[in-house]
Structure 1
Amino acid sequence: MSICERLDGIPLALEMAATRVRALGVHEVAARLDDRFRLLAAGARGAPERQRTLRAVIDWSWSLLGDQERAVLRRLAVHAGGCTLAAAEEVCAAGDLDPATVVDLLARLVDCSLVVVSDDQDGPRYRLLESVTAYCVERLSEAGELEALRRGHREYYTRMAERAEPHLRGHGQRQWLRRLDLESANLRAALESAARSGAGDLALRLVNALTWYWYLRGRISEAERLLAMALSAGQGGSDAEVAKATAWLGGIRLLLGGGAAHFAAHFAALQPYERVDDPGGRARMEWFLGSHTYGIGDPSRSADLIDRALATFGSLGDRWGTAAALSSRSFHAKLRGDFGAVRQDSERSLELFRDLGDQWGQIQAMTPLATEAEVLGDYERAARLHRDGLRMAEDLGLWREVSFKLAGLGRIALLMRDYPKARQFHERARRLAVEQSDTFGEQFAEIGLGMGARREGDLDTAQAHLRSVLDLHRRMGYEPGLPALILAELGFIAEHRGQADTATALQLDGFAAAEATGDPRAVALALEGLAGARLLAGRPVHAARLLGAAAAARRSVGVPLPQGERLDVDRIAAGAVEAIGETRFAAEFAVGGGLLPADAIK
């Protein structure tokens, strides 16, 4: 099948390949197709001269063309994966043809079956068969045009990427994502050509224009590789382009596994901006780094970057930057348990993103709003927000976001105790994350699978899921809420198994992790988990006090435990009441409500 595809189904070429298969085997023939004209140099002896070799077949067609047709045909070969009419008119004209004549020349080449045309939403798209491409690259070299055409090609696609970049944040987002998808091969070829030729200025301009596209598409490893390549491509890039690419690379590497130990290196990625007078560009990079260092080490460092960026965006009137920074700031408000600020920042962010037409931004702003609804027990609203985000993500083809939205819907199903539905959503989310090589998305889905498995009584499966997630978070130094949640869940598993000492140790570790984040809700969960461990250890009075302290922690931020999350608390409270009676339980619960969390655990 590979041989057939690479020879474009040309009957004579396939016949010649078949004769070589008898001597070389299929795999060797496929491996040698890069040198196809040497490989397929012997056809049927009785055939006409023009049909005896693959080169002769194309030579004959070439001989029938006029000079201008030959020029356009060979120049098309510089494109990878085809091109639009506009690209053909500019690149193939190459300074010695009238661009207005290119369309007629293309039409004649299509009639000769040397060029393949397909219809696209943006107009016709032209491409060469692979064998014709190989032939025309040789002709380009013979004409002394190859390097000039490659230069024209990379300049054209650099300008295209720069024209596309602002549209990726507005009403044209869907259209330009699709256009860049279609031109991925050309953009990659242009970048590699720039790097090989030492055109550092073009390489940097191109990666800086494309990194947001790669980010939206979840192509993080590709972004890291190509940013590093552009930064090492040679001299010529301006200080502003170097600063931007360096900062992008620092943020992208965070996504690939940067933890607290590497924070200083990622923060240093902003240093080149000290030599550049570009406050808007610096603010966008501060926001990007700040939003992706959320929870890595000291959360104040992330918050400071976001706050600085937000102030700059406001002074410059940058509405997109303001919307992005408000959305990121809302996550810090969630960490503090300040759900009034969560709603205020997220709703303003959502309003701005809607006005700008940025659906990716709307998805980001909806996420903390869905979390707020979940915390308040408004599961219908939370599910609606997740479904709206899912619809937008699917429409744009943002598959990482689709995975997170599916996991969000799984979380709501879990809280509504529809465990089969929750498992279905989380499995879909995990499969999609694996397909996208999205480690964080995979682990997020795995948390839901682990929580669901515990509630269904499958403790071994639950532990396997949660241990996997915990190991990843420890390696990455990722701290907000999730490790405390995972430790609490593992503690509950140990409690269900009757392992009081193990449960106590896990819940104490979870308490320490929760206190480090400053999230009162995470602290409350750890206290509730420890109450279960103390009850199992024969200390129902302490369990009652811990439950009282947990309830007080939740009240301190105005978000009492909603019904969907009461399963463990109600179970532990019932056990304590059974052991010491309702009156004593109520008294000890009240005592716990007056204690600081750190005192309550003693």
Structure 2
Amino acid sequence: MEAGAWLITGEFDEVQRVIDRAAEHPDPWVRASALFGRAFSAEYDGDPGTAEQHMRTAADAFRELGDRWGLAQTVSSLAGFRSLRGDHAGAVDVLTESLESFRQLRSEADLVPTLLRIGAERLRAGDLDGGHADLEQARSIADRTRPWFTIWALNGLAEHARLSGRLDAAENFLDDADRIPVDEHENSVIQPVLLLQRARVLLDRGRTADVPVLLAKALEGGFGIRDVPTAAVVAECAARWRLRTDDPRGAARLHGLAVALRGVLDEGDPDVRRVRAALRKSDDHAAAFDTGAAQDRSAAFAELRSTLNSSSA
């Protein structure tokens, strides 16, 4: 918990200090938690390969301890790395394993987000019916637990509606989500997600003018550069916007910035795959991608911010 707090505030040296201290603790559970912390630290540092390695080691440690909750948390986190590679079946498999553990532990606080992630993963894989069923089940539980979970469920249902071509319904789900009150911290986490979803709907409608405004708000509305996974998603969505405005070189550059931020492109995102396929039709954009990807994280974030703000003015 302490490492997570320092991560949110951007005190990365403190994050490492806390993790290093936990790694030397005599209690094996605390040492396993340190591996979990190292994984998240690496992920937020744009190094998914190292993050996945630490997460696997943490899962092994919790398994050896017989800690079903710790094992379920780490296995669930491993799904994210599979999803980035486009291994949707593998991601659903490990999430389903975690889901069964959370059911046995009667942990609704973990059950709902895991169901939501399974639903989202099925949507990414093109299984709209299966994803919708999971999202509706999650919403039915969320409505009797926490408003926070209901917002996430509505966002997932908005994505299902978008992918189904029901753009008015997608916007209605997002409007419903915006009307649910949450505290300041929860709002800083969920608002970038909802803004990104609205940007995707606008792009599907072909209304590109307001997209950079929404993306700029999403970039600044959460934890900024302290949340590089979200910043990378913003860059990928911005690449789709650039492509829709007949700027393929700009799209390639933004995909490069996403790699500079996260370490890899989200190959599991069907929108990202479509943009990549369009860009591969010409070799002229490879240099733009490469120079974007070669930026350090701070420079990539600054360029992304500048690109969106200059287009929002």
Query: TM-score band, normalised by the shorter chain?
Result: 0.7 to 0.9
**CA separation in 1, counterparts of 2:119 and 2:20?**
36
- SS of the residue corresponding to residue 210 of structure 2 reads helix
Question: Matches of residues 408-557 of structure 1 in structure 2 within 5 Å?
Answer: 408-435=117-144, 437-467=145-175, 469=177, 475-478=183-186, 483-513=191-221, 516-534=224-242, 536=244, 539-541=245-247, 544-556=248-260, 557=262
**CA separation in 2, counterparts of 1:440 and 1:392?**
22
Change (3 A) 1:572 1:361: closer
Q: Give CA-to-partner distance per residue, 1:476-530, whole Å, 9 cap, x none.
A: 2458876444322211212333433222311232344588135555334323433
Match of 1:375 among 64, 84, 88: 84
Structure 1 counterpart of 2:211, which letter? A
Change (3 A) 1:567 1:500: closer
Deviation at 1:534, TM superposition (A): 4.4
**CA separation in 2, counterparts of 1:300 and 1:470?**
31
Are positions 1:591 and 2:288 aligned together?
Answer: yes
- Paired residue for 2:73? 364
**CA separation in 2, counterparts of 1:394 and 1:387?**
10
Greater C-alpha radius of gyration: 1
Q: 2:238·2:254 contact (CA, 8 Å) conserved in 1?
A: no
Change (3 A) 1:489 1:572: farther
Deviation at 1:332, TM superposition (A): 3.3
**CA separation in 1, counterparts of 2:203 and 2:227?**
24
- Paired residue for 2:270? 566
Match of 1:386 among 85, 88, 95: 95
Q: TM-score by structure 1 length?
A: 0.44
Identity of aligned residues (%): 22
Q: 1:373·1:381 contact (CA, 8 Å) conserved in 2?
A: yes
Q: Tell me how many residue pairs correspond in the alignment.
A: 298
Structure 2 regions of 5+ residues with no counterpart?
A: none
- SS of the residue corresponding to residue 500 of structure 1 reads coil
Question: Matches of residues 13-92 of structure 1 in structure 2 within 5 Å?
Answer: none
- Paired residue for 1:355? 64
Higher relative contact order (CA 8 A, sep 6+): 2
Change (3 A) 1:310 1:392: same
Moved more, 471-480 or 363-372: 471-480
Structure 1 counterpart of 2:97, which letter? D
Q: Give CA-to-partner distance per residue, 1:144-167, whole Å, 9 cap, x none.
A: xxxxxxxxxxxxxxxxxxxxxxxx
**CA separation in 1, counterparts of 2:224 and 2:177?**
19
Q: Give CA-to-partner distance per residue, 1:266-309, whole Å, 9 cap, x none.
A: xxxxxxxxxxxxxxxxxxxxx3x544x4775x2437x83x5444
Structure 2 counterpart of 1:407, which letter? L
Structure 2 counterpart of 1:487, which letter? L
**CA separation in 2, counterparts of 1:295 and 1:313?**
15
Q: 1:335·1:518 contact (CA, 8 Å) conserved in 2?
A: yes
**CA separation in 1, counterparts of 2:118 and 2:214?**
28
Structure 2 counterpart of 1:458, which letter? R
**CA separation in 2, counterparts of 1:387 and 1:341?**
24
Moved more, 367-376 or 463-472: 463-472
**CA separation in 2, counterparts of 1:407 and 1:592?**
33
Q: Give CA-to-partner distance per residue, 1:59-103, whole Å, 9 cap, x none.
A: xxxxxxxxxxxxxxxxxxxxxxxxxxxxxxxxxxxxxxxxxxxxx
- SS of the residue corresponding to residue 594 of structure 1 reads helix
Deviation at 1:555, TM superposition (A): 4.0
Q: TM-score by structure 2 length?
A: 0.79
Q: 2:19·2:38 contact (CA, 8 Å) conserved in 1?
A: no
- SS of the residue corresponding to residue 560 of structure 1 reads coil
- Paired residue for 2:29? 320
Deviation at 1:328, TM superposition (A): 3.8
Deviation at 1:568, TM superposition (A): 5.5
Deviation at 1:356, TM superposition (A): 1.7
Structure 1 counterpart of 2:164, which letter? E
Deviation at 1:410, TM superposition (A): 0.8
Structure 2 counterpart of 1:345, which letter? H
Are positions 1:343 and 2:52 aligned together?
Answer: yes
Change (3 A) 1:380 1:505: same
Change (3 A) 1:332 1:426: farther
**CA separation in 1, counterparts of 2:109 and 2:182?**
22
Structure 1 counterpart of 2:67, which letter? D
Q: 1:451·1:489 contact (CA, 8 Å) conserved in 2?
A: yes
Q: 1:515·1:523 contact (CA, 8 Å) conserved in 2?
A: no
Q: 2:96·2:118 contact (CA, 8 Å) conserved in 1?
A: yes
- SS of the residue corresponding to residue 334 of structure 1 reads helix
Q: 1:354·1:362 contact (CA, 8 Å) conserved in 2?
A: yes
